[in-house]
Structure 1
Amino acid sequence: TTGGYHVVMRASGDMQLYRHTAGVTTGTQIGSTIATTPPVADTAMSFQINVTPTTVELRRTDSTGWTTGAIADTTYRGGYHGLSNGSITDLNTRPYWRNLVITQL
């Protein structure tokens, strides 16, 4: 596996951005934990991840515009992405993905 960034959206509504090193099972949180409204079953949430040559930023865009702000980090760059449901095993609370758009900044 390779390293990269991963988003954690917790049931409490806390949104976090992590840097994940290849071969290491735990990530390192970068930036602050952002308190957002908790996810609601069958209600879509929207996210935007901005990666520039010098920063990475996570935004939740389906409401008030929560953001981590631009975080100075140049560890990973490239055109690869992946999506995961994480460790959710309950089919009633498992997230699903749709309308994925990748746009060059």
Structure 2
Amino acid sequence: MHILLAEDEAINRLYIRNLIRKKGWSVHEAADGEQALKALENERFDLILLDLGLPKKDGYEIAKSVQEHGLDVKILAVTGYDYPEDRKKIREAGMHGLIPKPIQEHFFYEEIQRVCP
């Protein structure tokens, strides 16, 4: 599986990168929304792990761009906000689920398996 990790916090990227590599999956990292969009123009991904609070372009803008371009990719929001209204907004934006921060390893893998069996 090839994953785009769009996360602005370096420590979070390090932790998530290690979880991804632990499963033998490949990862491309983007530290802001513009880098994420550029990666989507140049590579095909199976999954986007998308921090909603990215600088330059936020996660909702990226999800909208994915839909507008008809890209066949699953999106999981990665956020510290895990309230019913947040989950509703995430679904409405076309994302496939949510991984709450702080990330729990077992839930991280379960959620990825759910959207990318």
Structure with greater strand share of residues: 1
Q: Answer yes or no: same fold by TM over 0.5.
A: no
Q: TM-score, structure 1 length as denominator? A: 0.25
Larger Rg: 1
